[in-house]
Chain A
Amino acid sequence: MTINDGNDKPAVWVKNLTRKFGDFTAVDNISFNVGKGEIFGFLGPNGAGKSTTIRMLCGIIEQTSGDGYVGGYSIRGENDRIKKITGYMSQKFSLYNDLTPAENLEFYSGVYGMPAAKRRERMEWALEMSGLESRRHDLTGDLPQGFKQRLALGAAILHQPSILFLDEPTAGVDPLSRRDFWELIYSLSASGVTVFVTTHYMDEAEHCDRIAFIDKGILIKLDTPRALKNLQLSGRIFEIIAAEWLKAFNLLRNERRGFGEVSLFGTKIHLNFIGDDFSAVESLLREKNIPVESARHIPPSLEDVFVALLRPAQISDYEG
């Protein structure tokens, strides 16, 4: 399937898109472009407006205002054309649990009006891709989560869409399967498919060509992972490892001198240190009898950047 537009045109083009639910603004006046064949990551906390944006672009819900083009077609009135060239995988698993994987795929091939000749071949491909060839006659509801997600992805790309919307596709999937998932996303992208993916896994976000940070419906930052990590943070990131990590974390967070923003990465503490002399931190911990196993200056990860971006006000306060 090809889109009837020139190569210069973006696959997705969004201008001032807004969606309100009553008084609540889920998506607030966002604008961005997604290039053809790009893997475009939508990153943000729960309720940030990621799903709402995707659902507007797929024509599932109506936008309150603003405009968007998907594959050259407007989301205002050309939804039917958009739906033919897009694939969508919703955040909540929404294949039929009382059908077998084969039946689910057959259903989607029918709903997308695929020609009969192509159906069988694509269904076999999707079953193989999701590793369900031997379980094709089991009930979908009985499958482990990872298989379900792969089946859902298979169903979403069965009709070979040119633009693919994946809403948290790897939620509840084990790390190994997640890697397989991303291998597949890479290969789709390499074959020219545009992939628009939301996630809250930072390591996944690094696989994207570009990342859009979104919070409270507002697009905060849009750039490549490399550029984002090179963003000039207000301080230096220190990773502190301590056996009594929770105690240390609370201590640093409540410290009035204001060393900088602290956040937890598992049991490791990241401190976005805005002072000059890090030994002040170490002596504070020593004073409070919290032994430190290691404390070192590290390059900022994407999550550090994300944390810093989410609290811009505080950062400028410290800077003063």
Chain B
Amino acid sequence: MRYLAIAKREALSIVRDPRSLFLVVFLPVMLLIVYGYGVTFDIRHVPVAFYDQSRSAQSRDLIDRYLSSGYFLLRESANSRESLDRLLIGDKIILGIVIPPDFADHIIAKNGGEIQVLVNGSDANTANVAMGYQAAVFADYTGDIFKPPSNLKIPSVDLRIRTWYNPELKSSHFIVPGIIVIIMMLLGAILTSSAIVREKETGSIEQIVASPIKPWEYILGKMTPYIVISLSDVMLVVAAAYFVFNVPIRGNLLYLGFFTVLFLANALGIGLFVSTVSRTVSSSQMFAVLISLLPSILLSGFIFPIESMPRPIQAITYFVPARYFLVILRGIFLKGVGVDVLWPQALFLTANAAFFLTMAALKFKKKLD
């Protein structure tokens, strides 16, 4: 069992370095907690300023509705258009709302009226969300003001929206799985990225190459201990997601374990491939970070939907393992689905793992230069 000899040796080296081992085991949980709290798509406390020219009971009622919605935070009051402009330019506020002098009259007369909303579009995403909140608050307000008399029945379509899987639309419920994917991809690739190139640096590769070991025995042997480490990492991280972020786990944990091994084979395979083509540990680690981190964030569908990418970029995403694991984690955590639904992801992960590991074994062609 030449494969076992490699695996055992690698495991011994890992155990002999307890400080790194400790770091490797607990770093992902620490990262998840930091980023899980830090990263959110929910936008709260949008800074806002009002230029209230009306100064009436009606305008104060409107302002109060904005502020009591919980989405807006009064940053400063403006007493002129110029001061509102200054706040927008200085990025002090996202929304500037101007209530004209005749606002109260129009409301009392029940004949409409208007307000002006200035949006700081320099952060288009936040502006968009803030606009949405604003529109909802305002619609609510006008609905109450211009409520038709209760005896008057207006026929209308009854719209009943139900959000499945994440009824409160908590962004943490889909961000936390995304962060787990990114952290594990990064960690997996880094873990193995130095595994082979380190042997080149110390020279022990000479003896390996002079021995009758086969490339696949060497590659799989190298990978095995890291599968064990990263699998325990995933267990810790999933526990943190459940207990710290209250992300529900509705699916089967055994399926999760099965999919995780497939995914880790990808992450570790990429690291091993990087390790076979690199000449120094530092360059291989840099390469591993680049090749694992950015695609997992940008091309996995975590932030930007794959459907809206141009076709050639979409084609690249087929080689991004994070893409599949993201669907798997969200599916198991939020939807409670299993292999019956997620088998295409499992298939793609298997194909990609085979691809990366074969590339590594081919590059490690047992001749140095």
Contact = CB atoms under 8 A, between A and B. Distances in A.
Interface stretch (B6-14, B40-48, B93-101, B308-316): B6-14
A84 B213 CA distance: 9
A96 interface: yes
A107 B368 contact: no
B351 interface: no
B202 to A, nearest CB: 7
Chain B, interface SS category: helix
B5 A61 contact: no
B209 interface: yes
B56 interface: no
Given A60-B368, A110-B2, A110-B8, A96 B204 contact: yes
Nearest to B218: A111
A209 interface: no
A95 B212 contact: no
B204 A111 contact: no
B1 interface: yes
Interface residues of A, number: 32
Given A62-B367, A99-B12, A107 B5 contact: yes
Contacts of B167: none
A86 B12 CA distance: 27
Interface string A95-131: 1111100010011111111000000000000000000
Interface in B199-234: 202-213
B82 interface: no
A98 B17 contact: yes
B23 to A, nearest CB: 17
Interface string A38-78: 00000000000000000100111110000000000000000
A292 to B, nearest CB: 47
Contacts of B205: 94
Contacts of A107: 5, 8-9
Contacts of A97: 202
A238 interface: no
A98 B12 contact: yes
Contact of B202 (A62, A94, A106, A155): A94
27 contacts: A55-B206, A58-B210, A59-B209, A60-B209, A60-B368, A61-B367, A79-B366, A80-B212, A83-B212, A84-B212, A86-B210, A88-B207, A88-B210, A90-B207, A90-B210, A92-B206, A94-B203, A94-B206, A95-B207, A96-B204, A98-B13, A107-B8, A108-B211, A110-B6, A111-B212, A112-B2, A112-B212
A94 B17 contact: no
Contact of A110 (B1, B209, B367): B1
A83 B367 CA distance: 12
B253 interface: no
B206 A83 contact: no
Given A94-B202, A94-B206, 10 more contacts: A61-B369, A80-B212, A92-B203, A94-B205, A95-B207, A97-B202, A107-B8, A110-B2, A111-B5, A139-B16
